[in-house]
Amino acid sequence: MYASTRATWRNLLLVATLAHAAPGIAADPPVTAERLQAGNLAGDGNWLTYGGSYANWRYTPLAQINRDNVKRLQPAWMLQMGVQGQVAGSPIIADRTLYYTAAHNNLYAMDAVTGELKWHYEHQMPSDLRLCCGPANRGVAIAGDRVYMATLDAHLVALDRATGKVAWNIEMADHALGFSATSAPLVVGSRIIVGNGGGEYATRGFVAAYDLATGKELWRRYTVPAKGEPNVESWAGDSWQGGGAPAWMTGAYDAPSKTLYWSTGNPAPLFNGDARKGDNLYSDSILALDVETGAIRWHFQATPHDVWDYDATNGIVLIDAEVDGRKTRAVAQANRNGYVYLLDAATGKFLRGTQYIEKLNWSKGLTAEGRPMVDPAYIPTPEGLSKWVCPGPIGGNNGSTTYTYHPGRKMLFVPVIESCMSLAKEGSEMVPGNPSFGGSLGDSDATAKTAYGHLTAIDPVTGKIHWRYRDNFPMVGGALSTAGDLVFTGNQQGWALALDADTGKVLWKFQTGSGVRSQPVSYEIDGRQYVAIGSGTGGLAMQVVGQPEIVTYGSALIVFALPKD
């Protein structure tokens, strides 16, 4: 919790900004279901969903900023948030307003052209939060005249877009049992869908849909089956009660089939699978859900019986692919376990699997069904540390680090972590609300000496790697591709980067003052294109592969544009 003097200062700021916002603010037009369906591919300059569109491409058709002029890119405005904690969010831009979240559930509404603050909301939280991985928030959803945020104490809050006034506030789950929420919700029609965090605390994961107008729960799909439900036999005995499989990242949506695609995290306990023998469905999986009922249409599990913390919560991208001469609607995912997967979106059938990281040893490859062929030498044991496992538990791409799909080039641009680590298995008592790691990590200093990163351009259909941009540190900032032949990202030394989409050559960089962990976006207003990149505390890289050269101070959103002259 904040010190009392800081809390007083922040409350005064909140009152002041709300008072400033309330009178005389012209209302932006409602964000309709049709606008959300069109997404940023409509070309109107907005960025209305977490991934830019329901397909989650994180791509913009804007091309004013391009490979020829990007070297002239300069700051247009900056928000200094002054909030300690990871800056991991992805902005939402609707008409002339930009909405951005900072750590500890702070939400800012700003003029997207000038950066002038319209209002600020800080969700007041209890003192007994149970968080494994920091107080980050990854963004909001928008619909109608409201903006929606999930919170660290597992609430879902609806606020008025113009004033920040709370319309409703509902509890999704009990934070005292270890539940939390950090992801950006997804609005589909009259529903708002969000998943939980807290898989490290013996909580049972879920994805749930709520009514936009009232917050009433419409359905809840648990990601660990209970007694009597299909696939509960994939958990030995009653071990399903230990939970896991949190759904802590934002999914994708296919409107024609009314299908949600959502990914899930680790089983519990993380590193000790003795008591939970079996595949442990639906942990480390992609789920296809009926948007109206939450029913599971199909599932694909990337890492059965996970004992390495290989969450499958990485982004889900929907693409039209040609596979074996047949046009196929497909799901693509660069999984934390080191493989890029391509699945049939209608059935979940495994189509392709390709290693995208340079160092991978826990698996000897994939079967024809996409199941990993585990090398038993890299399974944690109680006798001591395992062999050097690659990738380590933060994965080849961490679930909160977004990648981008360029539809013209038909390529994924994936920020990659090359980090290996040894693991040890330990006992773990499964008590909701208590940590359930079931093991420990090896020497992080030794890991830091060998860890590095790269941004990799890969064809998800063929597996061909077109280029790699290598960085001295793990790449844990998200990526954005553009019609201007660019890929934007950032690194842990604080550099915002623009690379040539064809070659991976760095064409522009800007020192933001802190490690980049956020998800860049682009928008256009009055004929001028902007790129927004958040900067603040290296976060994950510091926790697991912390090098002293990583810049960790600061907390800001920086918006760039070309000079007006």
Tens digit of each residue's pLDDT (9 = 90 or more) over 181-206: 999 999 999 999 999 998 888 889 99
pLDDT range class, residue 222, cuts 50, 70, 90 = very high
**What's the confidence (pLDDT) of residue 1?**
32
- What does residue 372 show for φ and ψ, rounded to 5 degrees? -70, 145
CATH architecture of 4-561: 8 Propeller (2.140)
Judged by average pLDDT, the poorest of 23-37, 115-129, 205-219, 520-534 is 23-37
**What's the confidence (pLDDT) of residue 129?**
86
Inter-residue contact 115 to 79 (CB < 8 Å): yes
**What's the confidence (pLDDT) of residue 17?**
38
Percent of the chain with pLDDT over 70: 91
424 against 35, higher pLDDT: 35
Does 372 sit behind a cis peptide bond, omega within 30 degrees of 0 on the bond before it? no
**What's the confidence (pLDDT) of residue 15?**
35
pLDDT range class, residue 26, cuts 50, 70, 90 = low
Judged by average pLDDT, the poorest of 129-133, 319-323, 452-456, 503-507 is 129-133
Percent of the chain with pLDDT over 90: 77
Largest CA distance in the chain: 69
- What does residue 413 show for φ and ψ, rounded to 5 degrees? -110, 110
**What's the confidence (pLDDT) of residue 548?**
53
Which stretches does DSSP call E strand in 52-190? Answer: 59-60, 74-80, 92-94, 97-102, 106-111, 117-122, 141-143, 146-150, 155-160, 166-171, 186-188
Q: Averaged over 272-296, what is the pLDDT?
A: 97
Catalytic residue among 306, 309, 311, 459: 309
Average pLDDT, the chain: 90
**What's the confidence (pLDDT) of residue 435?**
78
Q: Averaged over 88-107, what is the pLDDT?
A: 96
Tens digit of each residue's pLDDT (9 = 90 or more) over 247-274: 999 999 999 999 999 999 999 998 999 9
Does 256 sit behind a cis peptide bond, omega within 30 degrees of 0 on the bond before it? no
Q: What does the domain layout of the chain look like in residue ranges? A: 4-561
Q: How many CB atoms lie within 10 A of CB 216?
A: 11
Tens digit of each residue's pLDDT (9 = 90 or more) over 42-84: 889 999 999 999 999 999 999 999 999 999 999 999 999 988 8
**What's the confidence (pLDDT) of residue 84?**
84
Nearest Cα to 559, choosing from 514, 538, 526, 529?
Answer: 529
Q: Averaged over 216-227, what is the pLDDT?
A: 97
Q: Provide the 8-state DSSP code for 324.
A: T
**526 catalytic residue (yes or no):** no
In this structure, what token pair is assigned to residue 126? Answer: 């209890």
Which stretches does DSSP call E strand in 161-284? Answer: 166-171, 186-188, 191-195, 206-211, 217-222, 252-254, 259-263
pLDDT range class, residue 552, cuts 50, 70, 90 = low
Q: How many CB atoms lie within 10 A of CB 326?
A: 7
